[in-house]
Amino acid sequence: MTFLFKSEARRGEVWRMRLQKEFPNLDFRIWPDVGDPLKVKYVACWVPPADLCQEFPKLELVFSVGAGVDQIDLSALPSGVKLLRMTEPGLAAGMSEYGTLAVLAAHRNLPAYLELQRTRAWKQLPAVAANDRSVGVMGLGVLGAGLLDSLKPFGFRLHGWSRSPKVIDGVTTFAGPDELVQFLSRIDILVCLLPLTDETRGILNSTIFNALPNNACLINVGRGGHLIEKDLLDALASNKLCCAILDVANTEPLPVDHPFWTHPKVVLTPHVASVTDAEGGAEFVVTNLRRHLANEPLTGVVDASRGY
Ligand code: NAP
Ligand code: GLV
């Protein structure tokens, strides 16, 4: 049987060594060297090959090499093929680092100080104590819950919003559309860590921004498709929002003439908040392949009806 890998070559070599050690009979191939398509049972990819299921009729598992699966057409997967999203610990560690960096930057007015530096203005802005600052995370999954945990030592008032109700020690939680406005009404620093689905596309819009207190900061580490960019520009212009820290964009790479590049209240990074660790990803695949071969439950299985 064949394991077909279609992603970054360096990561592929790490996976090849680890998988061949664990499963000596597995034929590990790197795209486009597919070999006999009838032998392909497992595919790991960011964007899958076209006509995945027609091309590989014996397919059993698809591994997303990242946490998100919005790049994959879930409707094209037959019900017998399971899609697994990546949940290796390096992804959560990276997101906790980046999320903490961004929350602290917003809390300590770094976007405003960067702009003051550009204008050579030595000006001290009022400081706010962490326990007077409310941080809210949209999405309380592996990454959102991990970030909230990392923020605990700083003393912020922590809040979270998810689809189903959650109990998280030290975090005030809200769930579903009915509790969204109540959640937002108290948030100074809003972090989006939702998956991109039909329900969450465009969720960061003027309605959400207007439900926040004045001068809130938006941190988007989910997907560019969550954000209505025009609504963000309007909210920054009207001072409804004081700044935005964006790791993702609707079009990546961000077009050179996009207003975010030079916006005085926007800090940009090029989709680097967290990246799957090569070794951690290989361990995730080995564990799940072992379980699959032993008919045991898998981790990170995507529910196509929910879209994540
Ligand atoms: P996850 O474990 O599947 O968690 C998703 C969370 O979002 C869950 O708490 C879920 O609620 C909530 N949610 C989903 N739909 C919702 C809705 N309609 N309303 C309210 N809450 C909703 O995902 P994860 O591993 O934490 O990853 C989250 C996302 O981060 C990924 O999908 C990806 O887009 C993004 N990401 C970005 C980067 C980057 O570098 N920028 C890196 C990795 C991942 P329930 O708990 O009730 O199910
Ligand atoms: C990166 O954005 C991921 O989904 O892992």
What is the mean predicted confidence (pLDDT) over 218-243?
A: 98
Residue boundaries of the structural domains of the chain: 2-88+276-293, 90-268
Domains 2-88+276-293 and 90-268 share a fold: yes
Q: What are phi and psi of 68, to 5 degrees?
A: -85, 155
Give catalytic status of residue 263 as yes or no. no
**pLDDT at position 3:** 98
Which of 3.40.50.720, 3.30.70.1450, 3.40.50.11890, 3.40.50.1370 would CATH assign to domain 2-88+276-293? Answer: 3.40.50.720
The per-residue pLDDT for range 135-189, each reduced to its tens digit, is: 999 999 999 999 999 999 999 999 999 999 999 999 999 999 999 999 999 999 9
Cα separation, 165 vs 207, whole angstroms: 23
Q: What are phi and psi of 136, to 5 degrees?
A: -125, 130
Helix ranges (H only) for the chain are 9-22, 52-55, 89-107, 110-118, 142-151, 180-184, 206-211, 229-237, 278-293
Give catalytic status of residue 258 as yes or no. no
For the CA of 69, the closest atom of ligand 1 is 32
Residue in the structure block whose two tokens are 């207190």: 213
* Active-site annotation holder among 223, 226, 292, 306: 223
**157: Cα within 13 Å, side-chain hemisphere:** 13
The per-residue pLDDT for range 34-88, each reduced to its tens digit, is: 999 999 999 999 999 999 999 999 999 999 999 999 999 999 998 899 999 999 9
Whether the pTM exceeds 0.95: the reply is yes
Cα separation, 68 vs 196, whole angstroms: 8
Which of 3.40.50.170, 3.40.50.2000, 3.40.50.720, 3.90.76.10 would CATH assign to domain 90-268? Answer: 3.40.50.720
Q: How confident is the model at residue 115 (pLDDT cuts 50, 70, 90)?
A: very high
Determine if the peptide bond prior to 32 is cis (ω within 30°). Answer: yes
66 pocket-lining for ligand 2 (C-beta < 6 Å): yes
The per-residue pLDDT for range 12-44, each reduced to its tens digit, is: 999 999 999 999 999 999 999 999 999 999 999
90 pocket-lining for ligand 2 (C-beta < 6 Å): no
In Å, what is the CA distance from 55 to each residue of 39, 49, 76, 170?
11, 9, 12, 49
